Structure 1
Amino acid sequence: MNTPPRKPKKATISASTSPESPNSDIAPSENPASATIDVNAVEVPELTEDEQRDRLHLERKVERAFFEAGKALAELRDRRLYRSTHSTFEEYCKDRFGYNRSRSYQLIDAAIVVDNLHKCPQIVDILPTAEGQVRPLTKLETEQQQQVWQAAVEEAGGKVPTGKIVKDAVQRIMERTQVPNSYQVGEVCQILAKDNLDLRGKGGYWCIVTHIGEFSCTVKTWNVEMTVGVQHLKSFNYLPDECQQMQQICDRIRKLRENENLEEAARAVLEHLGELKRPYLTAVEEKLLSVIEFEYGIIDEIPRNSQSSNK
């Protein structure tokens, strides 16, 4: 009869404190949890001059990446080097780099700002390292860009400031240079989003001024009430009767907005009305609004001749 093969024995680790044991420097009477273990320090060699030079060179490349990208995009655009494969610069950037139009021009504008900052000897040692840090500066004149960047660097303790610090510095300098608020309560204006991320998705909306501040206005749109800087408003210069008519339209839309069961189709109609560039509804728009009001119980019946003072 064949003898079955033996199973291999599992290796075991001894808890011995022999000289070969890693914990041999711990006395047997000591509690291992509270024992002190000697660890040999590893000396980290200092960088050589060549390594320091390489490090600085590579850091500068990282810091200037967005700047170099913006400069390259500007040259590709200005020389129309995309023309052999694409009809427009925007299509080329989307296909080649995955950039939409907004991103491409953000990088180009940022490169222009950095070039302007280079012209100021006082700030040549502390320059932007990311596009978002200079985005708030793109709407300013060259001298203002330099002043704001210097103020932001000081606020950041002599270091490269964050985009928020720069944005706050821009807001302060704009408030100092703005003319007094000339808007009036009840005036109908258009919202200009520009580079204000807080107004994203609201650019083009008409709004009604409800409160006047020193450099801002509280306004209400078809779906929200908020405070907006005067630089982000543009008056439609409507007559008083037209402003009153827009106030009535706004009240009707906002009353519908309070309904939690508002369907997507109805919401789309209201959003369209929130972007009007005229002080009245067309006959079709008035009928659509009346149908929605009737459907959600705002009015008891649809007016037979439901239309606004179409001009």
Structure 2
Amino acid sequence: MVGGEGAEHVGADLEGQGWGATRAWVEKGLSEAERIEDVARLRGGWTSEMRRLNICGPGGRRSLVLRSFVEPFFVRHAEGLLTREAAVLGLLGSTDVPAATLVAVDATAQYCDHPSLLMSLLSGTVRLDDEGADCRAELLARQLLSIHRLPVSAEARPRGYQAWTSPERVRPPEDTDQPELWRRAVDVIRREPPKYRACLLHRDFHPGNVLFTGDGNGLRISGVVDWVETSWGPADLDVAHCSTALALLHGVSAGMRFADRYVAAGGTLTEDRAAHLYWRLLDTLAFAPDAEKVAVPWREVGRADLTPALLTRRLEGYLETLFARYA
């Protein structure tokens, strides 16, 4: 996340934590009279370490966000991920999409302790409570549509989308009493991907990657973050990913309504029900058995009710409802 949600103060000294080279890299890019005054960890993500750097100088105070990949898996893929995010932030700078401004990137850790990207701090907070979820979902649908409608030249297009699971990788819950439901779902994604009309995908668009400000009639999206997976592919897949997240966060009906909200906002999804079901299941099955992976950061920002048992019930209920509507 790139807002102030869930900040944990850690002081100004990064050297003792193996961040000395990274700090030197950041400071080299500051104006001569600026310095890092304070550092806070930002909670709510699991792929990378996020830190808010509070900068002070003659011109006043400002804050930047530092994303660093430290886990071996993500370090191996950091060059592609951070290079892609840097390019996308540059692309979005001239649009109405509320994204951070790129400051600097060291995707291969040539200068930093870890592969890192430095960007501006966006206002707002992540909001995951059930209260107000419907209003936020309406804004999410409109925001996602605005991303899909962005014109992107052939030269600036990101890579084609990548599936995050396969029939061989899906593992149903060990205690499921509906093994046939899971087998049926896996059989759907054994087919070749349906033909689609491609557009720009955020590819990881869900409530945990969106910042909000205001309340009631003043509720607004103030930022969309985490662009490392940005891709070129079917709008149905982006809608599917946000739908699955909403089903896990707020219940099956919330996940089922999101595609309708997207279409009502003016979006276009495939009219072929079997094709749409393919994209929905391709995303949903990527959470088996990894729903806990996304729930950990969600619990860190207040959703302690999202237990493994609850997530399993919601995931299976969502699969059943997808088949009831689209099969």
TM exceeding 0.5: no
Q: Which has the higher strand share?
A: 2
Structure with larger Rg: 1
TM bin, normalised by shorter chain, reads under 0.3
TM-score by length of 1: 0.27
